[in-house]
Amino acid sequence: MAPEYALWGYLTDKADVYSFGVVALEIVSGKSNNNYLPDDGSVCLLDRACQLNQTRNLMELIDERLGPDLNKMEVEKVVKIGLLCSNASPTLRPTMSEVVNMLEGHADIPDVIPEPSTYNDDLRFKALRNLHQYQSKQSLSGNQSQSSMTHTFTSASGGNTHTTSYIEDHSSVDSS
């Protein structure tokens, strides 16, 4: 889901472009953005793709089930377009007609691709990172009868501050 919609409820004409970018990354990697938890400090597929793009190791992201005969240049093009489309700023995302032109090779892919540092300060990723750390600690400490965690998201836009809180309750049931 596009950040401007998820965080502030603003639906822009570039929200679908963002979703396309994430789906493109999911297709070439064979992983779900929401369920993929890399073990390298990344918090999701998009974060991992940004890191691999920065280190020029995009082929590490590619699903090996695509086989050895894949066109590496085409796959890297799809990943770069996916990253461009999933930029946190809607104004930096291309239009879908520009995406089609890039995919068909009629237009160059701009170098306005997000860096991992852009996402490290993003509240969504901080919350995900905290949740993953919490869940890791819980699994290391063994089964507990009940635990809860409060998440608070605060964002500022146009002088307005929006705060959303929710509590997760993880109860374990002993079936013996």
pLDDT in tens, 82-109: 999 988 888 889 999 999 999 999 999 9
Q: Does residue 161 carry a pLDDT above 50?
A: no
CB 131 within 8 A of CB 149: yes
Rounded mean pLDDT, 112-133: 53
As a whole number of Å, the end-to-end CA separation of the chain is 40
pLDDT for 141 equals: 58
CB 87 within 8 A of CB 12: no
Rounded mean pLDDT, 12-27: 90
Q: Does residue 171 carry a pLDDT above 60?
A: no
Q: Pick the range with the lowest mean pLDDT from 55-59, 112-116, 129-133.
A: 129-133
Query: Is the pLDDT higher at 21 or at 114?
Result: 21
Judge whether 21 lies within some domain. yes
C-alpha span between 121 and 25 (Å, rounded): 21
Residues 96 and 129 both lie in one domain: no
CA 71 to chain centre: 24
Residues 31 and 112 both lie in one domain: yes
Residues 71 and 20 both lie in one domain: yes
Query: How many domains, in total, are found in the chain?
Result: 2
Q: Which of 43, 55, 71, 68 is nearest to 129 (CA)?
A: 43
Residues 80 and 141 both lie in one domain: no
pLDDT in tens, 28-74: 999 888 777 666 666 688 888 888 888 888 888 888 898 888 898 99
Q: Name residue, tokens 């501050």.
A: 161
pLDDT for 23 equals: 93
**Vertex 150, ends 15 and 118: CA angle to 5°?**
40
Domain with residue 95: its CATH number is 1.10.510.10
Q: Does residue 148 carry a pLDDT above 60?
A: no
What pTM value is reported for the model? 0.63
Domain extent at residue 108: 3-116
Q: Does residue 155 carry a pLDDT above 50?
A: no
pLDDT for 85 equals: 92
Residues 136 and 60 both lie in one domain: no
Q: Which of 20, 8, 25 is nearest to 123 (CA)?
A: 8
Q: Does residue 134 carry a pLDDT above 50?
A: yes
